[in-house]
């Protein structure tokens, strides 16, 4: 994985998703080199770059032009612009202009998780995956309910990672904010 | 419990121990109103004040004069100086000048956990409790090993608390640093 | 606290609430000896007994007669029946027959958390506390939303405890199921 | 990743390492298709199969013949025997008969973590990785100290995962045992 420190950041743009969460998202996505990925709420581009490394094509969508700018800077820094298309806009609408896809990754939903999952599901290829990362309690539950609504059976993990920091007196364990990963496969 | 925000703090003094950890330490200590408590490494005084509220007498020891000053300011703020004696010094030596006690609470040990537990155990009354709070991996293990060395059977819990913060979009879960509480009763 | 092992259990009755969670509930409740406590969903009686130890009077309500029977067996075992009244019934209705109270503890709500909080709030004395323990994601969110609806500002903690188990090769950390405690004070 | 349920298990053999931990180990290992991997304490073969999928060659070592038997059954089940060699024996000795390697994965060390890391480090190619998974507090600390002893700078994460289980009343969060992953790169 790309190290958390290797991303250009902006205080007004969320992310990057921490290394361990990016790792778990990649595993849950079962991404492979022929996959078309649509990412909603790309923020700093943490997951965008990981998907770009492993997939055929990534469409990274965000409402916030600043997020797209930072994501682009990170793609440039890591020389990974080739298979990523950045799209400014609102997710459920943007889907109409995109080809069908294999992976829908939702990192930010601006309160529109329900139409994102409903419409995203329609554009999702068979065996495709929907993944939602959630820092809010509300998002955890909306992701579960909306996946169930379209007939998916969500896998839900809540990930609490403590990081060991070696200081003079020993190894201090520092808590990270928990992140939930809700994912499901279209059958 | 006293709220975390109700303590006077100093950037050079650790603490106060967070409310939930103070609560669990009180429960594990089984403190009651006739108890004599010795606290090693009182820091900001978080646990000192809780013990002062519930015990007969608290001896709060710290090597750092600044810690004792802050603890004293917090005792004054909450009008709880009456049954607390502040002692500057090194814990295993200080024990010699103290009466026997019912609770030994170690919040900071400056690398001397082994003699603190060994000598503290000798001064501990029957049914007395030793409690160690640990933020370092090393302290977790030293507490267990040194308690076992004097024949105690430690109870070990590692406490990870996430706090819900209500923001505009919902309830964000924020991770706290994990703290271990190792405790044992002298039989 | 009473040890987890010291409760009589029944496979069909949930609980007892683990020692550390009971401890945190007691602290969040700020229970004192003049308090009237109403507990909804007493289950095995874990919290009932802790409140009985510290409060003036506890009304323990459960829909399930088996739960009340087990709670009663635990009260008898620990000789704590004196200030506990067991009530079979549905919580929001039962409130009508009770005096006003200082603490409303909800450990199980059978899908009626909204009326329990709404009606319970009306019977709650000034400075009274409402506490909800939640093992479900849904309950976490319903507790927050319903407390906010009656004008309360909930304190939310999600508690993850690992317990150290000493085996031949060392100290194994065993994860417990996380429990959320949502609490608020009526002002 | 292979699903936890897709492994043949034996009550006397530890493992398989849970899916999410396997995922994080793969990321921390930075395994690629030319890598030679040595795995000490393969147990059920959970990590063996993941490495076999991604690396050139895996040498899976275990003292326990039953573990090797189960690992072999899992390799057969998933048709992955081609690039895995199973070796019964004690790790630091076995290293002598092996070529140099790129990844040393230690899932079980039978109290010999110090010589395993010391000798393994010598056989490790430049840019090679050592990874230790730990369920014991003691192993966490020994891994850190022994990596530091040979000049490595360990990355330490303690992973606490709760799994959402959908039951009739909602989504219950179930705690898993925490696992630490200590890893370092030879420079």
What domains can you pick out in chain D, each with its CATH number? 4-185 (3.40.50.150)
Q: What is the C-alpha radius of gyration for chain C, rounded to an integer number of angstroms?
A: 16
- The predicted pLDDT at position C152 comes to 98
Q: How far is B59 from chain C (nearest CA, A)?
A: 24
* Site from C132, C134, C135, C137 to mutate, A interface, most A CB atoms within 10 angstroms: C137
Q: Does B133 touch chain A (CB under 8 A)?
A: no
CA distance A85 to A58: 6
Whether residue B29 contacts residue B103, with contact meaning beta carbons closer than 8 Å, is answered with yes
Of A80-84, C115-119, D107-111, least confident by mean pLDDT is: D107-111
Q: What is the pLDDT of residue D27?
A: 98
Residues of chain B with Cβ-Cβ distance to D182 below 8 Å are none
Residue A93: band (very low, low, confident or very high) from pLDDT cuts 50, 70, 90: very high
Average pLDDT over residues C148-156: 98
Give residue-wise pLDDT tens across range D63-100.
999 999 999 999 999 999 999 999 999 999 999 999 99
Closest CA to D178 of C163, C17, A173, B139: C163
Chains contacting C (3+ CB pairs below 8 angstroms): A, B, D
**Residue B37 structure tokens:** 């408590």
Distance CA B50, CA B60 (A): 12
What would the pLDDT profile of B152-186 be if each residue is shown by its tens digit?
A: 999 999 999 999 999 999 999 999 999 999 999 99
**DSSP per-residue string spanning chain D:** ---GGGS---TTS--PPPHHHHHHHHHHHT--TT-EEEEE--TTSHHHHHHHHHSSEEEEEES-HHHHHHHHHHHHHTT--TTEEEEES-HHHHGGGS--EEEEEES--TT-HHHHHHHHHHHEEEEEEEEEEESBHHHHHHHHHHHHHTT---EEEEEEEEEEEEETTEEEEEEPPPEEEEEEE--
| pLDDT value, residue B72 | 98
A19, A157, A171 ranked by CB distance to D156: nearest: A171
**Residue C5 pLDDT:** 97
Which of C179, C184, C183 is CA-nearest to residue C134? Answer: C179
Question: Phi and psi (nearest 5°) for B164?
Answer: -80, 130
Query: Confidence class of residue D127 from pLDDT cuts 50, 70 and 90?
Result: very high
Please indicate if any CB of chain A lies within 8 Å of the CB of B171: yes
Tokens for A73?
Answer: 């800077």
Could you give the CA distance from residue A159 to residue D162 in angstroms, rounded to a whole number?
7
CB of A94 within 8 A of CB of A87?
yes
Q: Is B162 on the interface with A (CB under 8 A)?
A: yes
Using 50, 70 and 90 to split pLDDT, how confident is the model at C185?
Answer: very high
For residue D115, give both structure tokens.
């010589």
Residue C114 pLDDT: 98
Q: Six-digit token pair at D63?
A: 């003292």
Average pLDDT rounded to a whole number, residues A48-57: 98
Q: What mean pLDDT, rounded, does chain A reach?
A: 97
Mean pLDDT score, B119-145? 98
- Residues B72 and B42 sit within 8 Å (Cβ to Cβ): no
CA distance A39 to A61: 6
D-chain CB neighbours of C139 within 8 Å are: 170
Enumerate the β-bridge partners of residue C155: C183
Query: How large is the average pLDDT for residues C1-19?
Result: 97
B61-101 per-position pLDDT tens digit:
999 999 999 999 999 999 999 999 999 999 999 999 999 99
H-helix or E-strand containing C125? strand C124-134
């Amino acid at each position: 994985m790309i190290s958390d420190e290797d991303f250009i950041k902006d205080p007004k743009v969320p992310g990057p998703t921490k290394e361990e969460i990016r790792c778990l998202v990649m595993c849950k996505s079962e991404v492979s080199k022929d996959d078309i990925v649509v990412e909603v709420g790309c923020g700093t581009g943490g997951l965008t770059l990981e998907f770009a490394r492993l997939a055929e094509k990534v469409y990274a969508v965000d409402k916030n032009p600043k997020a797209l700018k930072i994501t682009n800077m990170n793609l440039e820094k890591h020389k990974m612009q080739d298979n990523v298309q950045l799209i400014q806009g609102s997710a459920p609408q943007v889907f109409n202009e995109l080809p069908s896809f294999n992976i829908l990754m939702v990192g930010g939903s601006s309160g529109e998780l329900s139409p994102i999952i409903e419409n995203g599901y329609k554009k999702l290829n068979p065996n495709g995956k929907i993944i939602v990362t959630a820092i809010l309690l509300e998002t955890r539950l909306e992701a579960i309910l909306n996946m169930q609504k379209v007939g998916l059976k969500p896998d839900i993990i809540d990930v609490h990672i403590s990081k060991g920091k070696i200081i003079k007196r020993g190894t201090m364990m520092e808590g990270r904010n928990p992140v939930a990963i809700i994912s499901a496969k279209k059958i």
